[in-house]
Amino acid sequence: MNRQDPEAEIGARAEAYRNWGRWGADDALGTLNFIDDAKRAEAAGLVRGGTSVSLSQPFDMNGPQKGWRRRTNPVHTMLDTGTDAERGNQGFPHGLGGADDVIAMPLQCSTQWDGLGHIFDHGYAWNGRRAGDVVTSDGDLVTGIEQAASAIVSRGVLLDLGRYLQPETGELPDGYAITAADLRSCIDAQGATSAVGTGDIVLVRTGHYARARRDGWGDYAGGAAPGLSLTTAGWLHDTEIAAIATDTWGFEVRPNEFDVPAFQPLHQVVIPNIGLTIGEMWDLEELATTCEQFGRYEFLLSAPPLPITYAVGSPVNPIALL
């Protein structure tokens, strides 16, 4: 890889792995099309003991966001409280009291899916549309996340790169670029339940979230982190996975693998070109422990976005059922 020329390295991969038109001119789902009912039925068949694991970080004011690109942590406020109710302040009859609440948050503030309108390549969005025809101030008029409302349920596979590559700590160091070879050998090491193929949703654990919770958020949102190498683009394309998620802020390795200014180059390849749905800031800690204990790395994953009209992303509480 030429570390001096991000534009060329990105461009070559964008061209090589571009899925534009693969699912028709009107497509709004990209690689989520790899999931079909049979795949979901197969995934449900993986459930054994019925253990349910939430993969969501807390949506909490004390989160990692520091204001980059106006991303704040969620602000949760109350419209009515038990204090008022107990004091009889609410005006309801027969002893009824109530509490309501409100949230304001960037859709990218915590555990999330990036929609297909989240990233553009030279002014083009997924499937070759002009970015300005897709996402205006009114939102993503074409590939809004609401279109995936029932789509993101499939077989999930955990690839615990943290434990595999760093068995002592379970955590990859910041800046570690996970390669396709790493992914393949992790699959081999974890065994048959880790095989990855068409329609799977791959969850890559780096250990970065564990470190952030232990040591404090620090620069979890936007700082150095382990993550996928730009060179995994081919693997992400060829495996025909439906989606991928990590326990980091940005999915790909940071700092990026270039010696000149670059920003999220792998995003630029996979979202607008491959049409891959990416999850970020997932909590894979309990899942990793569970998989290790059970000796199984596959499960039913139900991770539907909130169908927010025209949104380019969505908060999500993904559930792994084992």
In what helix (H) or strand (E) does residue 134 lie, and over which residues does it extend? helix 131-134
Query: Could you give the 3-state DSSP secondary structure of residue 150?
Result: coil
| Size, binding site for a copy of itself by CB under 8 A | 116
Question: What would the two tokens of residue 166 be?
Answer: 């760093």
Asked if residue 182 binds a copy of itself (CB under 8 A), the reply is no
Asked if residue 80 binds a copy of itself (CB under 8 A), the reply is yes
Asked if residue 58 binds a copy of itself (CB under 8 A), the reply is yes
Q: Which lies closer to a copy of itself via its Cβ, residue 78 or residue 189? A: 78
Give, in degrees to the nearest 5, the angle at Cα 263 between 273 and 284.
80
Q: Least distance (Å) from a copy of itself to the CB of residue 105?
A: 6
Among the listed residues 24, 93, 167, 216, the single contact to a copy of itself using CB under 8 A: 93
Contacts (CB under 8 A) with a copy of itself, residues 25-44:
36-44
Asked if residue 293 binds a copy of itself (CB under 8 A), the reply is no
Asked if residue 267 binds a copy of itself (CB under 8 A), the reply is yes
For 273, which DSSP code? I
Q: Least distance (Å) from a copy of itself to the CB of residue 259?
A: 13
Asked if residue 59 binds a copy of itself (CB under 8 A), the reply is yes
Query: Could you give the 3-state DSSP secondary structure of residue 180?
Result: helix
Give, in degrees to the nearest 5, the angle at Cα 265 between 263 and 271.
120
Q: Which lies closer to a copy of itself via its Cβ, residue 166 or residue 294? A: 294
Q: Which lies closer to a copy of itself via its Cβ, residue 156 or residue 161? A: 156
Q: Residue type for 126, please?
A: W
Asked if residue 94 binds a copy of itself (CB under 8 A), the reply is yes
Radius of gyration of the chain (CA): 20
CB 317 within 8 A of CB 111: yes
CB 10 within 8 A of CB 122: no
Q: How far apart are CA 233 and CA 239, in angstroms?
A: 10
Taking alpha carbons only, the member of 252, 240, 125 closest to residue 178 is 252
Residue 36 backbone dihedrals phi, psi, to 5 degrees: -125, 175
Among the listed residues 24, 26, 49, 295, the single contact to a copy of itself using CB under 8 A: 49
Q: Which lies closer to a copy of itself via its Cβ, residue 94 or residue 214? A: 94
Q: Least distance (Å) from a copy of itself to the CB of residue 283?
A: 9
Asked if residue 52 binds a copy of itself (CB under 8 A), the reply is yes
Asked if residue 158 binds a copy of itself (CB under 8 A), the reply is no
Beta strands 153-160 and 298-302, pairing class: antiparallel
Q: Which lies closer to a copy of itself via its Cβ, residue 110 or residue 190? A: 110
Among the listed residues 2, 150, 169, 293, the single contact to a copy of itself using CB under 8 A: 150
Q: For tokens 């569970």, name the residue.
A: 290
Count of CA atoms in the C-beta half-sphere (13 A) of 46? 27
Among the listed residues 17, 113, 120, 164, the single contact to a copy of itself using CB under 8 A: 120
Asked if residue 1 binds a copy of itself (CB under 8 A), the reply is no
Q: Least distance (Å) from a copy of itself to the CB of residue 189?
A: 27
